[in-house]
Amino acid sequence: MTAIKDVTHHLMDKDTVTGHCYNQVNMRVLKNGEIAAVYNEERFPFHHDTGQTVLIRSRDGGQTWDPSTRQVVLPYTSTLGNWDCGIAELDDGTLLINYTLCAFFKRGIRPDHPSWSAEPMTEEWGDWTWAYRLRNWIGTYVVKSSDNGQTWQTPVPVNVLPLKHAGTRLGCWQLRDGSILMGVYGRIRGYSEEGEGETTRSALIRSDDHGENWEYYSTLAYDPASIIDYEEPALLELRDGRLVCFLRTHVNPSGDAKNMVMIVSEDHGFSWTPPKWTNIWGYPAELIPLQDGRYLMIYGYRRSPYGVRGIVSEDGVTWDARNEFVIREGGVPGKNEYEQPASTLIDPVSGRKRSGAIDWANPGVYQHIGYPSVVQLADGTIVVAYHEWSDDPQPIQFVMNTRFKLED
């Protein structure tokens, strides 16, 4: 089993003023040596996937993160929000951020009857009926900068047709031939994240002109029986040119998370092998080539003791949970002193976060930890970023990173 050494943990960013949640971070090492990280800042002190994309940088390999570099790239408004951002630096130095956009469709006619949803109705959170029932995904976009993030161009809508919607998870990947691939997950018939008798499929969207135009390129995996969800693709280009992709899975109707599956392409992502179940439980993942010729995958671990884990592969296609190692444990708080709404599309009544002790065997929305991202620095140090819940009386999500090296 792989061993790690020189392990240190570092705070990236936490909202100590308004108490907004920070989550779902993605990093890349830039050509100038900086680590650039993007993450989602929620508009609430709970997870809601309607926030804004924030960029922050480290100039010392993730040991500290310079607050003066903190930049809201895509601010939320009263009717728009964005999340699931990823970042990439293209061969010409262009920074490319991809994200999912959502909208709140306000009521145009005042109802003459009470809402079915009675809570919350507060000055801080507003009308939950508006936030819960009238929110929808409206598209996938990219935004580019040609001056290292000083200014950003007008967002470019990504053509994901025939998908009705497509969520993103990681930054794009530029292959050796210059083409750019974006991993997405969505559905052909439905406009929402779940339901309508169709499970989620994963796909690649491709651009051959540095992100100005995009087109559906290939299906990574889908289940025609609509039993298995394949989500949040993590792509790796091997040294021989093959592509390997890991996918998060859930089964319906229970929605239970199952082991990750792996697929392989020998034609630059145009076609893929059928999904192969692995013995690795955890999600979602990110993969990188290591300087010593091996490959590293890291992933969230959303069951006790929680945290982030990793596996090293010699060839990029052979992965075994028996080689799993722990990068970080925990991230789920012990108690919550205040009741509040839960998360995203969960009904505000049935999904409330109750006050009191939090059962790690059934923590509800507090299981939402991880979403890790990984880079390797020139000196061999590996940096893994992720989000956790704090142990404050009102727990909030915040972003951290862990630095370590692999044992020789």
Q: What is the 3-state secondary structure (H, E, C) of the chain?
A: CCCEEEEEEEEEECCCCCCCCEEEEEEEECCCCCEEEEEEECCCCCCCCCCEEEEEEECCCCCCCEEEEEEEEECCCCCEEEEEEEEEECCCCCEEEEEEEEEECCCCCCCCCCCCCCCCEECCCEEHHHHHHCEEEEEEEEEEECCCCCCCCCCEECCCCCCCEEEECCCCEECCCCCEEEEEEEECCCCCCCCCCCCCEEEEEEECCCCCCCEEEEEEECCCCCCEEEEEEEEEECCCCCEEEEEEEEECCCCEEEEEEEEEECCCCCCCCCCEECCCCCCCEEEEECCCCCEEEEEECCCCCCCEEEEEECCCCCCCHHHCEEEECCCCCCEECCCECCCCCCCCCCCCECCEECCCCCCHHHHCCEEEEEEECCCCCEEEEEEEECCCCCCCEEEEEEEEEECC
What is the predicted pLDDT for the residue at 270? Answer: 96
More confident residue, 50 or 14: 14
- In angstroms, the CA 56 to CA 37 distance is 5
Task: Tell me the pLDDT tens digit for each residue of 291-318.
Answer: 999 999 999 999 999 999 999 999 999 9
pTM, rounded to two decimals: 0.94
* CB-CB contact of 170 with 202 (8 Å): no
- pLDDT of 10 > 60? The answer is yes
Looking at the predicted structure, is the pLDDT value of residue 101 above 80?
yes
| Whether residue 193 has pLDDT greater than 90 | no
What per-residue confidence (pLDDT) applies to 70? 98
What pLDDT is attached to residue 48? 84
Mean pLDDT of the 49-61 span:
96
Q: Which of 127-141, 154-168, 220-234, 319-333 comes out lowest in average pLDDT?
A: 127-141
Share of the chain above pLDDT 90, in %: 78
Per-residue pLDDT at 217 exceeds 60 = yes
Per-residue exposure over 19-58, b if at least 16 CB sit within 10 Å of its own CB, e if not: bbbbbbbbbbbbeeebbbbbbbbbbbbbbbbbbbbbbbbb
Which pLDDT score, from 0 to 100, does residue 242 have? 97
Torsion angle (degrees, nearest 10) of CA 96, 97, 100, 101? -100
Task: For residue range 376-403, list pLDDT tens digits in order.
Answer: 999 999 999 999 999 999 999 999 999 9
Q: Checking DSSP bridges between strand 356-357 and strand 335-336, what pairing results, if any?
A: antiparallel
> Is 368 in contact with 396 (CB distance < 8 Å)?
no
Average pLDDT of span 343-369: 80
- The domain spans of the chain are 4-108+118-406
Average pLDDT over residues 197-208: 95
pLDDT at 1: 75
Over the stretch 152-176, which tens digit does the pLDDT of each residue have? 999 999 999 999 989 999 999 999 9
Confidence of residue 272 (pLDDT cuts 50, 70, 90): very high
Where does the pLDDT of residue 340 fall: very low under 50, low under 70, confident under 90, or very high at 90 and above? confident
Is pLDDT at 118 greater than 80 in this prediction?
no
Q: Is 288 left (phi over 0), alpha (psi -120 to 50) or beta?
A: beta
Whole-number pLDDT of residue 115: 62
- Strands 35-41 and 22-29, by their bridges, are antiparallel
**Residue 400 to residue 330: CA distance in whole angstroms:** 12
Q: Is the pLDDT of residue 116 over 80?
A: no
pLDDT at residue 114 in the model: 66
Q: Tell me the C-alpha distance between 284 and 315, whole Å.
A: 21
Name the phi and psi angles at 260, rounded to 5: -70, 155
Residue 149 banded pLDDT, cuts 50, 70, 90:
very high
**Number of Cα atoms under 13 Å in the Cβ half of residue 299:** 25
- How does pLDDT run across 253-266, given as a tens digit for each residue? 988 999 999 999 99
Tokens of 152: 């950003």
Q: What is the mean pLDDT of the chain?
A: 92
- Confidence band (pLDDT; 50, 70, 90) for 123? low
The model's confidence at residue 127, banded by pLDDT at 50, 70 and 90, is low
Judge whether residue 66 has pLDDT over 60: yes
Q: What is the pLDDT of residue 125?
A: 53
CATH architecture for the domain at 4-108+118-406: 6 Propeller (2.120)
pLDDT at 122 over 60: no
For range 14-25, the mean pLDDT? 95
